[in-house]
Each structure stands twice: as C-alpha cells, then as structure tokens.
Amino acid sequence: MTATDDRARPAERKPAQIVDMSWDPITRIIGNLGIYTKIDFANREVVECRSTSSLFRGYSVFMKGKDPRDAGFITSRICGICGDNHTTCSNYAQQMAYGVKPPPLAEHIVNLGEAAEYMFDHTIFQDNLVFVDFCEAMVKATNPGLLARAERTGAPHAALHGYRTIADVMRAFNPFEGEVYKQALKVSRVTREMFCLMEGRHVHPSTLYPGGVGTMPEPTVFTDYLSRLLKVLDFVKQAVAMNDDVFDFFYEALPGYEEVGRRRILLGCWGAWQNSDVCDYRYETMDEWGRAMFVTPGVVVDGELRTNSLVDINLGMRILLGSSFYEDWAAEQPFVTHDPLGNPVDMRHPWNQTTVPAPQKRDFDGNYSWVMSPRWYDRTSGEHLALDTGGGPLARLWSTALNGLVDTDYVKATGHSVRITLPKSEKLPETTLEWRIPRWSNTIERDRARPYFVAYAAAMAFSFLERAQRLVRGGDVRVFEDFDVPDEAIGCGFHEAVRGVLSHHLVIKDRKIANYHPYPPTPWNASPRDSFGTPGPYEDAVQGQPIFEENGPDDFKGVDIMRTVRSFDPCLPCGVHMYLGKGNTLVATHSPTFGASHG
C-alpha cells in the first residue's frame, strides 16, 4: 500500500539502470537519519526509498515514576533544538491533569517566547541549512545549465530585496560568504535574545512551569522584545520575496519540478498559541479552546479539512510498530480505557503505549528503524493515514487557511489563504503578505511556507505584545496560579514544535508518572513502513520522484533527494536516543581544539 498516487511517467521508458545509493547520515541536521534508495538513472527517477534511524529513544521509559511536575524540565532535554516546544507542550498536558489555568499574562509570555522560537529556528534552518541546496555553489555543481539561465533571469521582487537576477539571490545564500547567509545568522541571534527575554534560557527554558511562568513582567521586558522585533522586520519581509523568486524560477525553468517531493496531501496540525480568553485546559472543552488557538488545528486530507476537533485528533492517534525495532504491547492491560468524555481509547493510543526496545540487525525486508510509525485513524475512510507536517509551516498555514477562524489585527484566515500584515519597519512600509493554498504538497511548497510562517509569527508577536502590555498597564501582573498534584489523572497537550505536530500524553497514578509519551513531528515524518506496508512521509515523498540533477551515477550528489528530505525540517533527536543495552558503558570525549592545527 502506498500513501501517494503513482506519478505520471513518460510513455516511452528506457530499460532500467538501477543503482543503490544511500546518504547516512544526512548532513546539516542532527546526524541520525539515513536515506537508502534505489535510483533508475536511465529514466531519472527514485524507484525505492527507506528512511532509517540508528538510535533508540528512551524518554518514555525513564519518565515512569518521576514527579509529574518535573516532566517539562526533563522532556525539554529530548532535543537541543526545540526543547522549549516540549516544555510548553508538557505544561499544557500537566495543566489539564492538575486542573489549573495560568493567568492571562503568563499565556501571553509563553506565546511571545514560542513566536520568537519559530522566528529563530525557521530563519536559521531555511537560510543557513535548506537554502544551501538552492545556492549558487550547489546549483553550479549539480545543474550548471540551470545556473546559466538564472544569470539571465531577472528577479521579480528585485526592488524589494535588492538582488537583480535569480543568480544574484542564489549567490547571496552561498555558505559563509553570501550576504543573506550572514545576515540570517545575525537575525537568529536577535530572535534568540527575544526568546530568552520571555523564557529565560534557550533552548531549555528556565522560567516555564505548569501553572504559569517565572518571568518578571516588567514593562522593559516587553519593550526590549519589541525593539528587537522591529529590528528584524525588514529581513522578514525581504526573505519572503527572495524565496518566492527562487522557487517560482525553479517551477518555470525545470518543468515537472512540482513532482519533486510531492505526496498525497495528508497534513496534520495540532494548533499553536493558546487564546487565554477561551482556553481553560479542560478536556471536556478542548474542542472549543482548540478552535480558538491562533494557529488552528486540523487534519487535511486530499486538500479538504477532515476535522479541527482536538478530541478527534487525540482519539485518532495510533502508534504502529511496522518496520521498527520494538516488541508489541497490545496484550498488556491498558492505562486508559476511556477519555474524560467517555469515548473508548484504543490500545495503540499513546496513553496506552509501552516502549519495549528489541535491538536487532537492520533488514530492509523486515525491521530497519528505531522510529515507530504514528498514524491517524480516519473513521471516514477506515485508513490509518501517514500524516506529515509539511515541515511545520505548510500544515499550519494550510489548516489555518481552510478553517478560516483566525481573525486578528495582524493575521486573518480567509478560507483559501492567510493574510499577514506587518507594520512599518526601518526601511520598508507596512506590508501585507498573502500565503495562498498551493496545488501541491511537495518540496518547494514546504520550503516556501517557512518564510511566510516567520512573518506569521512576527505578526502574532505584535498582537501578543499588545495584549500583554494592556494587562501590565492595568496592573494585572499575575503570572502563576497554584495547584495540587492529584492522586490519579490523565492529561494531553497539543502544540506545534517548529517542525510540526507535537503532543504529550500523561498518566498519573499515586501522584507519580505511570505513563508518559511525547509525540513530536519526527516520528510522524521519519517513520518507516507501518504494519499495513504504508511508507512513512520521507519515504513516500522521495520514492517515485524524478531526478533533475545533471550529474550521472559517478558524481551524483542527490541534491533533489536532499532537498526533499530537508524540506520536512528533519530533526532526529525527537525520534531517537541512544540504547546501550545491559552493562554497556558509553564514554564521550569532548575536544574543542581537536583539529585546530590541521592544514
């Protein structure tokens, strides 16, 4: 069974020339992801793909027995990139379990921190990691004919960003030398400072707790944040224009490039930024406050909104083993049989999961990855859908646009687009950007959505600042609400990590954690073939895609494949951690100056 319909292929096909090729580890990300392919060089296409991870994640094992109030601090260490997203989501789950609602100002502070995180992470990933695959140096090495055309093609938004041709834009992204590459690093520093003003420390927050925050809400905290936000606004506006110019050029110059990384539209978004006017963290009202989020949750199937109910999203989650290195837990006793509304909870739901690692030799005809296979059960079709996150922004924008619920002074969802208004900045006037629902869920549209969502996050930051400052001026500076840990409870938190859907599922018994499972975007995107034979999103997007690189097998760099994998913003720590076995000892040596005298 495949997740994506077969792509159109030329009627005249040459005898296949199949070559096995692998990239392990994938570079420019945390190095635990391997992509193994079979490529038909005669017909210029990928005929098979396997996504592997060589490390085991263990957080769901050692969280058991811990004080649940420590969960946010522990789970932030899952990742050195988006740890704050885990802390936030964990606190959401705890607040449901404890029955506590933080004061409004605390919610605004968390939202401001998460907005800064989206701006920081998306900028550094898009401009310093993803765009290396589209920069002049890479295009020259893989598609010299395309670069020659880029030299002759004017940039449509040259008046806005200042680069005359498409090749000039590509040069600006050359690593370590390009002007935009260097400028993005400065923007990332400023946006990280914005984050630290709200959450204390990056990337493991020191001021986020269940029940509120420890940030001192002095007026200068918000003005310091605002001054930095205004400082990066010109870059945010220009980045959207530069990305649009390059990506539109690829479609025009390489007919058929829309097929690179294309898969069936199966997008999941769990929503972001709680609305303190509505959210009370009660499971019974979760659908109401979920729809009030400032990024609207939703499951999008074949371009249509299947649901925006967080209750439906929660109950539909299934953790399948498929081709992963684990033993089944289906015969064990469930932790949770029914949700607080009385709905039955499946044995393969994260609330009932038990992680039992089973190390073994990698076998592409059997088990080959430490990543499990999360799926969403669609009651309408009876399918276990291999949802992906579109790298985060594509699913967030698509779901928000279709829902048409977000309506603020800065961001409005129209039903077919998202309009983002950014105020006047140092060089550029007030600007309204509009992200429109695209025809495809593919490599370019995942990457294109990213700078638009940076603009979305910047716009919402203005909204959160205004709300926070109104409270402070009115004298309401409460940032914490006390609570008691119950003897028994369950909770679930829904949030958007930078690269997509994030949920934490908590079971408390005897005031301790009885079961805890965080489900970040990586297991959804990087999953191997599941129990039904359905490939995971990385596999599905790469498998069957055409190859446009001009190099042959001997000097093949796989740039089209790498563009596809990186378009999902892969980050493997959320999916895997080291498994040592019994009695093994791991010794790590850090030598900061090792190699300093080389050359």
Task: List pLDDT tens digits, range 308-361.
Answer: 999 999 999 999 999 999 999 999 999 999 999 999 999 999 999 999 999 999
Q: Mean pLDDT, to the nearest integer, of 473-479? A: 98
What does the alpha-carbon distance between residue 507 and residue 517 come to, in Å, rounded to a whole number?
A: 9
What does the pLDDT read at residue 28?
A: 79
Q: Mean pLDDT, to the nearest integer, of 472-493? A: 98
Q: Which helix (H) or strand (E) holds 541?
A: helix 537-542
What does the alpha-carbon distance between residue 136 and residue 134 come to, in Å, rounded to a whole number?
A: 7
Question: Which domains, from first to last, does the chain contain?
Answer: 18-577 (1.10.645.10)
What does the alpha-carbon distance between residue 528 and residue 531 come to, in Å, rounded to a whole number?
A: 10
Which of the residue ranges 11-25, 243-257, 387-401, 436-450 would you say has the lowest mean pLDDT? 11-25
Q: Mean pLDDT, to the nearest integer, of 209-233? A: 98
Which pLDDT tens digit goes with each residue over 392-408?
Answer: 999 999 999 999 999 99
What does the pLDDT read at residue 572?
A: 59
Q: Is the pLDDT of residue 553 over 50?
A: yes
Which pLDDT tens digit goes with each residue over 362-385?
Answer: 999 999 999 999 999 999 999 999
Q: Mean pLDDT, to the nearest integer, of 26-39? A: 86
What does the alpha-carbon distance between residue 332 and residue 427 come to, in Å, rounded to a whole number?
A: 62
Six token digits for residue 486: 């119950």
Give helix 144-152 / helix 219-253 axis angle, nearest 10°: 110
Which amino acids are annotated as binding site for Ni(2+), given as ranges? 79, 82, 571
Of residues 293 and 28, more confidently modeled? 293
Q: 3-class SS at 129?
A: coil
Torsion of CA 53, 59, 64, 69, to 10 degrees: -160
Q: Is the pLDDT of residue 584 over 50?
A: no
Which of the residue ranges 533-542, 567-576, 579-588 would you say has the lowest mean pLDDT? 579-588
Which amino acids are annotated as binding site, given as ranges? 79, 82, 571, 574, 577
Asked if 264 contacts 184 with a C-beta cutoff of 8 angstroms, the reply is no
Q: Is the peptide bond before 25 cis (omega within 30 degrees of 0)?
A: yes
Q: Is the pLDDT of residue 4 over 80?
A: no
Helices of type H across 129-199: 136-142, 144-152, 158-161, 166-172, 179-199
Closest among 481, 480, 477, 423 to 455, alpha carbons compared: 423
Which of the residue ranges 124-133, 499-508, 536-545, 564-573 would you say has the lowest mean pLDDT? 564-573
Which amino acids are annotated as binding site for Fe cation, given as ranges? 82, 574
Torsion of CA 524, 528, 533, 534, to 10 degrees: 40
What does the pLDDT read at residue 286?
A: 98
What does the pLDDT read at residue 568?
A: 97
To the nearest whole percent, how much of the chain has pLDDT over 70? Answer: 93
Q: Mean pLDDT, to the nearest integer, of 109-134? A: 97
What does the pLDDT read at residue 598?
A: 36
Q: Mean pLDDT, to the nearest integer, of 402-426? A: 98
Q: Mean pLDDT, to the nearest integer, of 480-495? A: 98
Of residues 58 and 491, more confidently modeled? 491
Six token digits for residue 60: 């769901």
What does the pLDDT read at residue 586?
A: 41
Q: Mean pLDDT, to the nearest integer, of 231-254? A: 98
What does the pLDDT read at residue 279?
A: 98
What does the pLDDT read at residue 246?
A: 98
What does the pLDDT read at residue 573?
A: 58
Which amino acids are annotated as binding site for Mg(2+), given as ranges? 577
Which pLDDT tens digit goes with each residue over 72-95?
Answer: 999 998 887 889 999 999 999 999
Q: Mean pLDDT, to the nearest integer, of 224-242? A: 98
Six token digits for residue 81: 């990139």
Asked if 527 contacts 371 with a C-beta cutoff of 8 angstroms, the reply is yes
